[in-house]
Amino acid sequence: MLTEPITLPVRGDAGVEAEMHFLLTDLVQIAGRVTRLAHRSSQGSEGPATWRTLAVLQQFGPMRLGELAQHSQVAQPTMTKIVAGLVEREWVKRIADASDARAWQIGISAKGILKLTEWRSNLAGALQPLFADLSDDERETVRRAIDLIQPRIDQAYIDPDTFPAKGE
């Protein structure tokens, strides 16, 4: 481990740079807690990876296993395993790629869409009491923040170059 001296922003610092620093660290922390809570509050043995994968397929449509791995930010062999589980549950279907016998198109099935939708609804129902007291303005603030964050995170998923995985 390199032990180069680093300057760490201190909460309370003025300056856009420090604000951004704590904004991002707080964002990651709260995201981790939300994710953990979501997983914990949903019964069933499916992990976050399963739902992330289904969500990608619903949002972007069928794609190859390798592409799917990139869009889900997992290594290809990991995606092979996840897809194997999804195929077994019949939540996705493999479609032979006519132009390349090595490849498959992976597409979400009607059953998969249903399960994903159910899972989301259960989650929303579980979280709803915690957020029921938000005012219209506050709800609007959260909505705007999500709409700001979403495309920027998506960017990192889609362009592997702008966001190197593991190692610098």
Chain positions contacting DNA, by CB under 7 A = 36, 40, 45-50, 52, 64-67, 73-78, 80-85, 97, 99-104, 165-166
Q: Which is nearer to DNA, 21 or 64 (CB)?
A: 64
One DSSP character per residue, 61-125 reads --EEHHHHHHHTT--HHHHHHHHHHHHHHTSEEEEE-TT-TT-EEEEE-HHHHHHHHHHHHHHHH
Binding track, positions 82-121, relative to a copy of itself; x by CB under 8 A: -----------------------------------xx-xx
CB 58, min distance to DNA, A: 17
If binding is defined by CB under 8 A, does position 51 make contact with a copy of itself? yes
Q: Which does 45 bind (CB under 5 to 8 A by kind): a copy of itself, DNA, none?
A: DNA
Measured CA to CA, the distance from residue 4 to residue 69 in angstroms comes to 34
Which DSSP state fits 133? T
CA distances from 137 to 68, 106, 134, 140, 157 (A): 37, 41, 8, 5, 31
Side-chain-side CA neighbours of 102 within 13 Å: the count stands at: 1
Residues engaged in binding a copy of itself (CB under 8 A) = 6, 8, 16, 19-21, 23-38, 40-41, 43, 48, 51-52, 55, 72-73, 117-118, 120-121, 123-124, 126-132, 134, 136, 138-139, 141-146, 148-150, 152-157, 162-168
